[in-house]
Structure formats: structure tokens, C-alpha cells
Amino acid sequence: MVGATGAVGTVTLALLRERGYENVRAFASARSAGKVLDDLTVEEATPEALSAGDLDVCLFSVGTSASRELVPHAVRGGAIAVDKSSAYRLQEGIPLVVPEVNGDRALEHHGIVANPNCCTIPLTMAIRPLRDAAGLARVRVSTYQSMSGAGAHRMEELRETAPEEAQLDMDWDFDGEDFDEESKLRAETRKILELSDLPISVTCVRVPVLIGHAEAVWVETDEHLSADDARHLLMDAPGVRLEVVPCLRDAVGSDEVLIGRVREDETVDNGLVLFVACDNLRKGAALNAIQIAELLLERRAVAV
């Protein structure tokens, strides 16, 4: 685990323990090297350490620039890198994978598999069953993203903020039209679903919540789907739990994506509306990466 002391890294280590993995090493920056995390001594993530040839899979949860610097060294040492940053997500030839949506693509890697944005993962899990049944004509989504998506330091800021001073925020890079978070969500969804021309309108907002991302989603399908049809499809979808009213407090700590408020959108033909809630640190980041690694390790075991 590279980036072991961060918000996603600590959740990743906990999930690895829950899933029975014992041969785990923790890496982080020089500043964190030497710390002990649940009996694991944190090592410095240097090019030499990552390329030494004694690592099978490296789960990266570091910034984009650090991933661009370090991932190639891990691959050079023979490891498969599953990277959570945006460094490789849209790079041609590198699979961008949500196991429940396009898991087979992970097996096409050449050393690197990209883990999608924490809002792309639940969105694609929600709309993939609808696409398979009736096609997609258009998607609109508004996100409500917690402070943990911006890192542990933003969580601490929120803890120290008086309730009356908490407010909504839009804290991503802005090009004058879109925040980069909006552009990422649009481009990643198109790549995962393999619908390069799918019209997707996105608005992202940061909310004063510690953990958990939510999304309001408006979908237009090519063919008619009733709300009941959609509910039955989602009920059978892998990794999804159908709720009447999905709430973030119920999503936190869960491996599942919660979906509810499924209803027909009477303002357009073939329109549906749904609400999605997900633990962004867990399924939105750490668990998805581990599931990718498990797919790859399973393939390696079969090959042997």
C-alpha cells in the first residue's frame, strides 16, 4: 500500500486485514516513514524500494504527480500497479476499471490499472444495468461530496468548524466553465461504459459532511423503462443495495452502493431519476482497488 497514512490508505489497510491478507507492506512519504500502523512499520516510498522486485501488487493512493513519478518504478520491478490518482485514468491503453461494471478490462493491463474517481464508481454501477436493458441517451448528475474526498486535512478542518460556519464549497480547479472534477466524471464514465459520445452534464459540490458522497442522477434511456423495471434491474445489480431513501449515514462503512428514490422523470421521454449514496473512502476508493487486485491475482493463480 503506497500512501498508507492517508485517508484512503488507512481504510485500504483495514480492508486488507478484513479480507485476510497478511503479506502486506505499508509505504508513504519520508515524513511518515517509521510510523507504526497496526503492527506495520511504514517504509519510505522510494523508487529503489518499489522497483526492488519483491512486490506483487502495489495499491497507490497518492497525488497525481507522485503517481506519475513512482508507478513506473513499481512496474519496472515486476509489480502490477493499481493507481487511484487521475494520472493514468484517461491514458490510452490503460484500463479504467470498476469490477462490477467492466472487470474484464482489468485483465488487459500492461502493468497499470487505473482506479476511477470516487464519484465515477457509484455512478457507473447505477447506470450500467439501465444501459444494458434500454440504452443510454443522456445522463445528468449533481454530486454532493464529503470533505474526506479532499483529504484527511479537510476532515480535520470540518471537525474544527462551528456548525453555523459550515458551508457548501466548490474547491476543484476551474477552467472557466467546468471544474476538473466535473470533467473527470464525464470523461471517465464515457471510458468505462465505452460510450464516447454519451451526453453527460455534471455539477459537483463539496458539502460539510465527513465521509460519504451522494449523487442525484437523471437518466434518459433509448427505450422506455418504468420505475419498477429500473428497481428490479438495480435490485439484481452486483454491489448495489436498493433503498427507499438512501442516506449517507447508512452508506458509511458499507461495501455496497446504495440506490433509491427511483422514479420516472415526467419532464422528458424515457426519463428516470435516482439517488445514489456511497462510502467514498471504501467502495469509492479502497475497496474498488482491492477488488481490481483480486481479479488480477485470480488470473495469475489460474495461469500458474
Q: Give 177-203 pLDDT, tens digit per residue.
A: 999 999 999 999 999 999 999 999 999
Average pLDDT over every residue of 270-280: 98
Has 58 been annotated as catalytic? Answer: no
Name, in order, each residue with C-beta under 8 angstroms of 143's C-beta and a sequence gap of 6 or more.
119, 181, 185, 202, 203, 204, 205, 213, 214, 215
- Contact between residue 143 and residue 214 where contact means Cβ atoms under 8 Å apart: yes
Q: What is the mean pLDDT of the chain?
A: 96
Which of 58, 119, 204, 213 is labelled catalytic? 213
- Contact between residue 88 and residue 29 where contact means Cβ atoms under 8 Å apart: no
Average pLDDT over every residue of 274-298: 96
| C-alpha count within 13 angstroms, C-beta hemisphere, residue 217 | 32
Which of 37-41, 66-70, 188-192 has the lowest average pLDDT? 37-41
Q: How far apart are the first and last CA of the chain?
A: 24
CA distance 78 to 80: 7
Which of 118, 119, 204, 278 is labelled catalytic? 118
Q: How confident is the model at residue 87 (pLDDT cuts 50, 70, 90)?
A: very high
This prediction's pTM: 0.95
Of 84, 72, 96, 69, whose CA–CA distance to 3 is shortest?
84
Q: How confident is the model at residue 302 (pLDDT cuts 50, 70, 90)?
A: low
What is the residue-wise DSSP string for 60-85?
Answer: E-S-HHHHHHHHHHHHHTTPEEEE-S
Has 118 been annotated as catalytic? Answer: yes
What order of strands is seen across the sheet that includes strand 80-83? Answer: 57-60, 80-83, 112-114
Average pLDDT over every residue of 37-60: 96
Task: State residue 282's pLDDT score.
Answer: 97
- pLDDT > 80? residue 301: no
Task: State residue 152's pLDDT score.
Answer: 87
Task: State residue 19's pLDDT score.
Answer: 96
- pLDDT > 60? residue 304: no
Name the 3-class secondary structure at 58.
strand
